[in-house]
Structure 1
Amino acid sequence: MKADPLSADKTPSAGRPRDPRIDAAILRATSDLLVEIGYSNVTMAAVAERAGTTKTALYRRWSSKAELVHEAAFPGSPSAIQTPPGDIAADLRAMVGAARDVFTSPVVRAALPGLITDMSADAALSGRVSARFGDLFAAVRARLHDAVERGEVRADVEPDRLVELIGGATLLAVLQSSDDLAAPSWVDDTATILLRGVLAP
């Protein structure tokens, strides 16, 4: 069933803000179609029809299907780590758990294979998509800086590499052993390896 008609989204006059109802309808339609038919079968025309708007309205907001899908799959980047400051072990477990929850959502799992392919083929697109996680990177940097100041973490630990390790481990688990992610032990084990490494004490 189509959403309420929103195709009256004509080119706005100068200074007129976008209609948030149309944005929401487009993102909801994209999420629904991803789960129903998969990334490769989602088209801008299909999204516009499901959302009750026009392709022009979509392209006014997102320059490509990949960018639209990325926003639908990852509607917001965490701007803070939701654990009390002062415990890097708790911080790491929270980061790994948050990544697990994001990557195992039905929409993200439907979007990932095609999205990765498109981003790999387009460096500019990959950069624009990655930029949406700026707040998360800043939060990780802040927590690591605090942990270094407390003497819990070495000063040479690079925050961006930590984010890559968490995201990469979670993504690989989604693609290869998604059933394991449901167990709390996956978060605990991954966070422990990140915290302590693999060298014997």
Structure 2
Amino acid sequence: MAHDSERNLGGRPRDAAIDEAIILATRERLVRDGYSRMTIGDIAADAGVTRPTLYRRWATKFDLVVDALDYGFRRQRDMYTIDLSDLSPREALTEAVRRLDPAYFNPDAMVLMGNFAGEAIRTPELLDLLRTHAVEPRVSLVEDLLTCLRDRGAVREGIDPHTIAIMCFGSYFAAFYRGEPTKDLAERVVAVLWPAVGKE
């Protein structure tokens, strides 16, 4: 979680519960206040720890945010209980598209991502952070699956996995901004896509 070793400088074991409390407090503040307005003092207070306790784990607010984003994506991956290799090609694509949903683990993910994008001019490294830790791992999942299916001959030879993955990811943002539910969005998206990409 934090990128120090599991023992602090004094040699005592790190308390994972404290780490998680700080991470969760950070994620809540990112949604509520955004990066610029949230403070280390607010995070420490929300987590019920002192500022020195927090700074022993993360040297800067930015370092803490990096781990807060990684935490969310790791927790999302932990929720994957279906092995895509056990599914038919169409079912595997549907499950992969479902995992694109930013709100798969965190219901506030769209607001969080919007806050990061809104900070792009003032703090451009936040947008890079969002791309690296929240966008690319999701898009790559679908892209890699489609590439694998293409190589196996399970989908059409001429498909463009990268563009398809981006389109699928964008569907969640379109639904969010239109106020539409996303519960069955993966099924609906694949129902439209499959006739163009599949061989079944």
State the TM bucket, normalised to the shorter chain.
Answer: 0.5 to 0.7
Structure 2 CA distance for partners of 1:22 and 1:163, relative to 1, 3 Å: farther
**Cα deviation, residue 191, structure 1:** 1.4
**Cα deviation, residue 116, structure 1:** 2.1
Alpha-carbon distance in 1 for matches of 2:107, 2:143:
29
**Cα deviation, residue 137, structure 1:** 5.6
Structure 1: tracts of 5 or more residues without a match: 1-10
Alpha-carbon distance in 2 for matches of 1:15, 1:127:
34
Match for residue 93 of structure 2?
92
* Counterpart pick for 1:23 among 19, 24, 30: 19
For the Cα contact (< 8 Å) 1:99–1:167, is it kept in 2? yes
For the Cα contact (< 8 Å) 1:95–1:166, is it kept in 2? no
Alpha-carbon distance in 2 for matches of 1:173, 1:89:
22
Alpha-carbon distance in 2 for matches of 1:53, 1:158:
51
Structure 2 CA distance for partners of 1:106 and 1:34, relative to 1, 3 Å: farther
Structure 2 CA distance for partners of 1:48 and 1:71, relative to 1, 3 Å: farther
Equivalent residue pairs, number: 184
SS of corresponding position for 1:153: coil
Structure 2 letter corresponding to 1:25: A
Alpha-carbon distance in 1 for matches of 2:123, 2:181:
32
For the Cα contact (< 8 Å) 1:103–1:170, is it kept in 2? no
Structure 2: tracts of 5 or more residues without a match: 1-6
Structure 1 letter corresponding to 2:175: A
TM-score (norm 2): 0.66
Match for residue 50 of structure 2?
53
TM-score (norm 1): 0.65
SS of corresponding position for 2:155: coil
**Cα deviation, residue 142, structure 1:** 4.4
Question: What are the superposed Cα offsets for residues 54-109 of structure 1, whole Å, 9 maximum, x if unpaired?
Answer: 26346426526754653455444639873334622112211222233735843314
Instruction: State the structure with bigger RCO (CA 8 A, min sep 6), 1 or 2.
Output: 1
Match for residue 3 of structure 2?
none
Give the fraction of aligned pairs with identical amino acids, expressed as a percent: 18
Match for residue 7 of structure 1?
none
- Kindly report the root-mean-square deviation, in angstroms, between the aligned alpha carbons of the 2 structures: 3.9
Match for residue 153 of structure 1?
155
Alpha-carbon distance in 1 for matches of 2:12, 2:148:
43
Match for residue 167 of structure 1?
169
Match for residue 70 of structure 1?
69
Structure 2 CA distance for partners of 1:175 and 1:74, relative to 1, 3 Å: farther
